[in-house]
Structure 1
Amino acid sequence: MDNQNLIDMANRIGDFFDSMPDREEALAGIADHIRRFWEPRMRRALLAELDHPDASGIAMAGIVKEALVKHRAQLTPATPATV
């Protein structure tokens, strides 16, 4: 998984929602888009990048970081049950 590409995609989503006048609606929109359209593996990698940013990678936009922190619970994929 290319974390730089994930951050770039998340930043582009953030750019779209950043133009909304309602900040809370924008944050929810970013989180909802990522939750609905990104597979669990991608969301895990993005959240891991939030926790441990790669110094050599692309900087995550402020609005994206804020959305991930605020809506982390809904973005965190469920852990598969072990049998």
Structure 2
Amino acid sequence: MQIEKLIKMANAIGEFFNADPDKEAAVESIKNHLLRAWEPRMRREIIDYCRKDGNGLAEPVKQAVLKLEV
């Protein structure tokens, strides 16, 4: 899948959950959504991209993606 599309999708998820005033909870919700809704290949691609550059990803999304690695 094209990384640009993954970035757009991840940021849209981030926008939805970022409405939560508890920013830690928002990051956790983003992470959980990515775990439930994205297939492993998509997660691997966004994790690799975030590790290398992460340009274009919103900060809460970056935090959530990096938590997927653990």
Which has the larger Rg?
1
- Which among 61, 66, 70 is matched to residue 69 of structure 1? 66
Whole-angstrom CA distance in 1 between matches of 2:58 and 2:21:
17
Instruction: Give RMSD over aligned pairs.
Output: 1.5
What's the counterpart of residue 43 of structure 1? 43
SS of 1:35's equivalent?
A: helix
Q: Which has the higher helix share?
A: 2
Whole-angstrom CA distance in 1 between matches of 2:68 and 2:46:
13
Percentage identity across paired residues of the two chains: 41
My pick for the range that moved more, 35-44 or 59-68, is: 59-68
Amino acid at match of 2:11: N
Offset at 1:44?
0.2
List gaps (5 residues or longer) in structure 1. 74-83
Whole-angstrom CA distance in 1 between matches of 2:62 and 2:7:
10
Compute the TM-score of the two structures, normalised by the length of structure 2. Answer: 0.89
Whole-angstrom CA distance in 1 between matches of 2:2 and 2:31:
20
List gaps (5 residues or longer) in structure 2. none
What's the counterpart of residue 20 of structure 1? 20
SS of 1:60's equivalent?
A: coil
4+ runs of 1 displaced by more than 2 Å? 69-72
Question: Are residues 60 and 28 of structure 1, via their aligned partners in 2, closer, same or farther at CA, if it must alter by over 3 Å?
Answer: same
Q: Deviations over 1:14-67 (max 9, x none)?
A: 00111101111111100000000100000000001001227xxx6111110111
Q: How does 1:3-14 map to 2 (within 5 A)?
A: 3-14=3-14
Offset at 1:70?
3.4
